[in-house]
Amino acid sequence: MSVVDHLTPMLGRWQGTNRFRLMPTDEYTSSIATATVAITAVRFVSIAYAWSDGDTSHDGLLLLGGEADADGASGVWVDSFHTGPTWMTFAGGTRADGELQLRGSYPAESGPDWGWHIHLRPRDAVITMHNLVPGYDPYQVVELALAPA
């Protein structure tokens, strides 16, 4: 199944809550979030979202395509807070429960690469983002829970 077909339940305009924490020992803070999920260039899905950290607004964009059920999904991600001045590339596929899991990494200034896992649950309209710090277990940083706008 293509990523477009897999993410069809999420197409449209959404609003909801973004829960965010920087470190695994931090408490989550919540903010209002919005997202627009659309088919782009026939074979891709774009997910444009906005959230805030206190008084500072942030936004991001995921562009996803490929075959979701053959571990052939790929994507790029930019976020005004999480990715800095460059985009990250991702690869992955779906699990038996329908969650699309994508993995990406970026070079550290020294030592092993760091990374992110992005999980999309289209039936629940939930996106989670997990930070991968070398030497530690991945931990969830973001939960974006959406409902139709």
- What is the tens place of the pLDDT at every residue in 92-124? 999 999 999 999 988 878 888 889 999 999 999
pLDDT tens column, 46-97 = 999 999 999 999 999 999 999 998 899 999 999 998 877 788 999 999 999 9
Strands (E), the chain: 12-20, 29-40, 44-53, 56-67, 72-79, 88-94, 100-106, 114-121, 126-132, 139-148
Domain map (residue ranges) of the chain: 3-148
Q: Please determine, for residue 33, whether its predicted confidence score (pLDDT) is greater than 90.
A: yes
Assigned CATH for 3-148? 2.40.128.20
